[in-house]
């Protein structure tokens, strides 16, 4: 566990030497302020004098109003181009902190300190940031490399089981698109076991970094990571509009489910592998098998960032570990899929 264990020591060096003179600002939400900030400051004393900006936890904070609040705060405390901005939190804090530091003075130094499994294995890696806008997921954002990402596992001690399993959904997606051996290990474990397994976390971090390093600006290879995400983002946006409590990983699990079905219908994904994935998701995640409101979902799917010239584009699986990006999917394909799933649970 060299990679993860050395992470805090490196951060300490950066803060105490490389950024010694800089003004430091730490973004937290109310939960990470309580559970993680004291640990961080206890380990890195130079952060005792940092300015703390606290936002409300949860996806509902990931919007332009919170960006406005943080920017005003930065101006009030006289943050300048040399300021170092640390995002200490889950994917929500990471996404909004990355975005603010990418646009303030056209970019200030951003350090990621992820505190959820989701943020450690995914959100804080690869520089994608942003906020939701007009009820659409991640509608505004940039791709800007953080100066450093510090994955310190002891932060996870206060994370509840739901949030650990939530992060595991992205680990499962990563294995499905990029590493069949990793999936073969994961498929015998529960999401909670996956999300608590340091070796698997480290493997996922390395895998995601390798994919991102080949295509930082998301023009080709990196798009394999979008598997499950057309539906996930549509489901999250729809959930927000009706105040339904769902986390990103829970939406990704549903997305994997629907997009595995599309993979079979459109790319001939094999029956054996199909059963394996569908049975795993059905067993371990809540997946409703319909969508009464499929028309609303279609509306949200229309805004997906992968779509081009009014056509739906998905990343689907030809086989486990062998994804195909930019697959054209018709509205009729999606409607047929959703209407074929008959139950009466909402999302
Ligand atoms: N940029 C990317 O590449 C990328 C990738 C994946 C997900 N995301 C985004 O990440 C967000 C989801 O992230 P998340 O699942 O981490 O959710 P989150 O950031 O909302 O955190 C979940 C909950 O855990 C709490 N929390 C965080 N750390 C804690 C700790 N150590 N102890 C106790 N409580 C803690 C938070 O306050 C929150 O209530 C979504 O907005 C998603 O779109 C972005």
> Across residues 124-151, what is the average pLDDT?
94
C-beta 236 within 6 A of ligand 1: no
Predicted local distance difference test score (pLDDT) of residue 311: 81
Q: CB neighbours (10 Å) of residue 153?
A: 17
| Phi–psi pair at 17, nearest 5 degrees | -120, -65
pLDDT tens-digit readout, 12-43: 999 999 999 999 999 999 999 999 999 999 99
Distance 272 CA to ligand 1 centre (A): 33
Reported confidence tier of residue 306, pLDDT bands at 50, 70, 90: confident
In the chain, domain spans: 2-158, 216-340
Task: Provide Rg for the chain, Cα atoms.
Answer: 20
Q: What is the mean pLDDT of the chain?
A: 92
Please list the residues that pair with 110 across neighbouring strands: 85
Residue 68 CB burial class (10 angstroms; 0-12, 13-18, ≥19): exposed
C-beta 166 within 6 A of ligand 1: yes
C-beta 233 within 6 A of ligand 1: no
Distance 124 CA to ligand 1 centre (A): 10
Atom 30, ligand 1: residue with shortest CA distance = 159
Predicted local distance difference test score (pLDDT) of residue 301: 85
- Continuous segment of H or E residues that includes residue 52: strand 51-55
| 70 has a pLDDT exceeding 80 | yes
Question: Do β-strands 24-29 and 51-55 pair in parallel, antiparallel, or remain unpaired?
Answer: parallel
Predicted local distance difference test score (pLDDT) of residue 209: 96
Candidates 27, 52, 54, 38; CA nearest to 155 is 38
C-beta 89 within 6 A of ligand 1: yes
- Cβ-count burial 300-310 (b if 16+ within 10 Å, e if not): bbeebbbeeee
Predicted local distance difference test score (pLDDT) of residue 52: 98
Candidates 329, 327, 328; CA nearest to 315 is 327
C-beta 61 within 6 A of ligand 1: no
Reported confidence tier of residue 90, pLDDT bands at 50, 70, 90: very high
Per CATH, 2-158 and 216-340 having the same topology is answered no
Q: Which fold has domain 216-340?
A: Dehydroquinate synthase-like, alpha domain (1.20.1090)
CA distance 27 to 123: 15
Which residue matches tokens 């993860």? 4
CA distance 332 to 335: 5
Q: Which residues contact 30 (CB under 8 A, 6 or more apart)?
A: 54, 55, 56, 57
pTM of the model: 0.93
Distance 166 CA to ligand 1 centre (A): 9
Q: Which fold has domain 2-158?
A: Rossmann fold (3.40.50)
> Across residues 219-240, what is the average pLDDT?
93
Q: Which of 62-76, 135-149, 306-320 has the highest mean pLDDT?
A: 62-76
Atom 19, ligand 1: residue with shortest CA distance = 90
Candidates 54, 144, 63; CA nearest to 96 is 63
C-beta 35 within 6 A of ligand 1: yes
Query: What atom of ligand 1 comes closest to residue 98's alpha carbon?
Result: 1
Predicted local distance difference test score (pLDDT) of residue 216: 95
Distance 230 CA to ligand 1 centre (A): 19
CA distance 198 to 203: 8
């Amino acid at each position: 566990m060299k990679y993860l264990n050395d992470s805090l020591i490196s951060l300490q060096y950066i803060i105490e030497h490389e950024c010694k003179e800089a003004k430091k600002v730490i973004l937290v939400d109310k939960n990470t302020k309580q559970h993680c900030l004291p640990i961080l400051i206890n380990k890195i004393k130079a952060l005792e004098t940092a300015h703390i900006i606290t936002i409300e936890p949860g996806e509902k904070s990931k919007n332009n109003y919170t960006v406005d609040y943080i920017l005003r705060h930065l101006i009030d405390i006289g943050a300048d181009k040399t300021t170092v901005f640390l995002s200490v939190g889950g994917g929500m804090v990471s996404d909004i902190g990355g975005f603010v530091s990418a646009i303030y003075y056209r970019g200030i130094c951003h350090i990621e300190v992820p505190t959820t499994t989701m943020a450690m294995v995914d959100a804080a890696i690869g520089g994608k940031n942003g906020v939701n806008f007009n009820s659409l997921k991640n509608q505004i954002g940039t791709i800007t490399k953080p100066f450093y990402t510090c994955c310190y596992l002891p932060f996870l001690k206060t994370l509840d089981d739901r949030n650990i399993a939530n992060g595991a959904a992205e680990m499962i997606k990563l294995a499905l698109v990029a590493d069949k051996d990793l999936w073969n290990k994961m498929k015998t474990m529960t999401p909670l076991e996956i999300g608590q397994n340091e070796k698997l976390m480290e493997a996922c971090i390395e895998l995601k970094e390798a994919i991102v390093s080949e295509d930082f600006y998301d023009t080709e290879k990196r798009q394999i990571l979008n598997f499950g995400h057309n539906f996930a983002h549509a489901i999250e946006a729809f959930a927000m509009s009706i105040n339904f409590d769902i986390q990103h990983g829970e939406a990704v699990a549903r997305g994997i489910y629907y997009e595995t079905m599309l993979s079979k219908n459109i790319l001939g994904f094999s029956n054996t592998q199909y059963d394996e994935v569908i049975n795993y998701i059905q067993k371990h995640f809540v997946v409703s098998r319909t969508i009464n409101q499929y028309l609303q979902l279609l509306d949200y799917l229309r805004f997906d960032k992968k779509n081009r010239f009014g056509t739906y584009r998905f990343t689907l699986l030809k086989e486990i570990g062998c994804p195909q990006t930019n697959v054209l999917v018709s509205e009729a394909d999606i409607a047929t899929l959703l209407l074929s799933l008959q139950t009466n649970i909402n999302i």
